[in-house]
A and B are shown apart, each in its own frame.
Chain A
Amino acid sequence: MTERPATASGDGGDAGDAGYPTSPDQGETLLALDGLTKHFRNDGGFLSGLTLGRDVDGLVGIDREWVRAVDDVSFEIASGETLGLVGESGCGKSTLARTILQLVQPTAGDVYYKGRNFAEMGREELRRQRRDMQMIFQDPQSSLNPRMKVGRIVEEPMEAHGMLDAEGREARARELLERVGLDPQHYNRYPHAFSGGQRQRINLARALSVNPDFVVCDEPVSALDVSIQAQVLNTMADLQAEFGLTYLFITHDLSVIRHISDRVAVMYLGEVVELAETEELFEHPRHPYTEALLNAIPVPDPRAPGVRGRLEGDVPSPIDPPSGCRFRTRCPELIVPGDYDLTPAEWANVRAFARSVDRHEFEAESELAVRREFFGNAEPDGEAGRIVDEAIARLLTGEWDGAAALLNESFADRSICARGRPDYEVEPERDVDRHFAACHLHRDGTPPD
């Protein structure tokens, strides 16, 4: 801790001090992730969200299946900022949060907090750091002990960290209740007497009780009605300004992310695929997945132009994620393999054909019918044309799997998208520092440092 005195206000010596943390210097790196990775052993048989609970130390039993929940994630969060982390269910957001907070052991990679590597901290230091990092969960209902009065709930973390005496804790709890927009008189009530939004405020008060600098918020407003959601979001913004908090704000809701975040990281299947300042990302997305996400949000405006783009297919299993770019099995922009000379229209047709064969979406009645359905406007010739011919021939003899395999290994698997993990800094469109986009469309850009 000693090498960062400016940011050390929230821990250690101030245990007897009921004051609020002073704002750390804005802009300094508070948290840094370096190649953070978390794999779970999948021994639940059928893959479901429930199988993500088992934890192991390192990659021993290689013969087992591993759920690659978080893979090689690196980013930094500056003091006082809100980094939004957005992605669809199962993409690894919550696992990443839990790994950052050391609630589960990382499989690989490091977490630096205020410049210190968690892996190198002793127990006492770890304990102190934990106090400095608090978490707020999605479900305000289940995260509050129903048999405890609100006051006790807020005081509990202070007690656990030996902060203040009983009287001091009570005074602080009452003050915090007021700060989060509740009535301090509610100190003696039980959680059931509160609405969802109020319960989330109790959670906020509880998290803030131990003077954290860093708060991880995992879908904190997702369970709330929109009108209440706005109240809680506003309160969170006020508290951030007042206490100089740094937020990692996790949600699947892009509207909320746009509103609350300074920068946004987009996750897909265990990886961060794009990271940029919020408006840069929303106005100039550079990763096809981000684009698809943004296109998919229903806009509360009946005159909003355009139909939503449709992202095909489902997210693949994190046990055996696609090679190269993990988004490639659904990417509308998959890059044509260098081996073939195809026009964009021909390539689009080949991909649509391959996808439909793979999903067995049609019946192959005759060669002509297939050609007409998929290659009406542009049919590849040369090597690519011969492969398509062969695939159609297989379809007509009922070999769907064979046709799908042929198309796959001849086309998708040869794309650069399947062959290397994309990792690029692109030139930002707006006046911001950096824009990271893990997509080979930007392979002319520079690799990140």
Chain B
Amino acid sequence: MASKAGDWRNYKRVLLPPVKDLHRLDVYEDHGGYDALRQALTTDKWDPASVTDEVKKSGLRGRGGAGFPTGLKWTFMPPVNPDVPRFICCNADESEPGTFKDRQVMEYNPHLVFEGMVLAGYAMTIKTAYLYVRGEYADWITHMERELEKAYAKGYVGENIMGSDFSMDIVIHKGAGAYICGEESSLMNSLEGRRAYPRIKPPFPAQKGIWNYPTTINNVETFAHVPLILSKGADWFSSIGAPSSPGPVLYGISGHVNRPGVYEYPSGMLISDLIDEVAGGMRGGKKLKAVVPGGSSVPVLRADMIDGVTMDPEGLRDAGSMLGTAGMLILDQDTDMVSFLRRITHFYHHESCGQCTPCREGTGWLENIVTRIDEGEGNVKDLDLLIDLCSQMEGRTVCALADAAAWPVRHTITRFREEFEAKCRPSLVATHVESAAV
């Protein structure tokens, strides 16, 4: 399969353009900043419904990991009722290992996010927006607070934005260091000052969100695309990259490559192009062993599985993985897959909120067993037990964290089984006793 990213070598960055000090409001304005918003609020070009329509038409899919069509999500909001508050929320909790692209947008182009949020607020007739950002991003929080203040002073946010009768506030809310707060319903509980336990769905946020009022939650990068779609047009956006999931994508590349970092390119890039050219090839000339293409929770791909595989939902589904957050972990030949998995199981064990049984109990058990194998004390039958436990967790919990914890275990073991068996204790006696099935 060929790249779906077209002439990506000549791609011009739009989310993170090479403009010095773009995070400063004056520089942002000089480069067309808040023009889309001005058009929407002060001309007849965009009424709220047509903003949503344009986003729908662009084919933009959420960049928070699930890839849900953004315009469609916005239409789930119930009709406006002046007596019922409604909210939008920007999910900047970015905590999945291997994912660090939202940070980049917040650092280099925060006004693009604010503008996208105000446009979304206009499209859905919303007066209050929250930006829920992980507390560890302390530097970028102060940085954004400072820029937001400037946007308020210039009338891009707040009362009667740009002299129109549309008003919207943006409230920056700091998280306190839990991965689970990135799950949208848990985020809403956390925002309300409750314990960050995910809620059962339905009801979905558009029905019962923050304070049980209609709410739309999108990822930082998702919002950042909105002003670009309005100023350059849905057709421009949908012509970029893979047709089924078009637009620019921030690829976060980490691991054993020469130039790890966040790279903006069209969707549908070949994994091999991203590694070999964009990220400067494997570090120290080593051989590639595995790629985790979309954040630590998606199934790992062996080096022999990535031939011709493109970074878009369909391409990765066919290859046996998922796009997730497009945060790619690149692992070279020296990587010990058992200890790699051990670190991942540790993460999900540490981050399970503990609300539901299979995840609360299963994540720790997984880590226990993988650790034992990593230390050479495991038995081969542990591998089957691990797969069994994954089946006992997947699809049986309140939120998707249990799936996120189980998939890496299932797929790393099935795709690197020999490596796991090699680390297990050799079986000394052939036993004829069948272990009791549980």
A and B interact physically: no
> Which residues of B line the A interface, CB within 8 A?
none
> Which residues of A line the B interface, CB within 8 A?
none
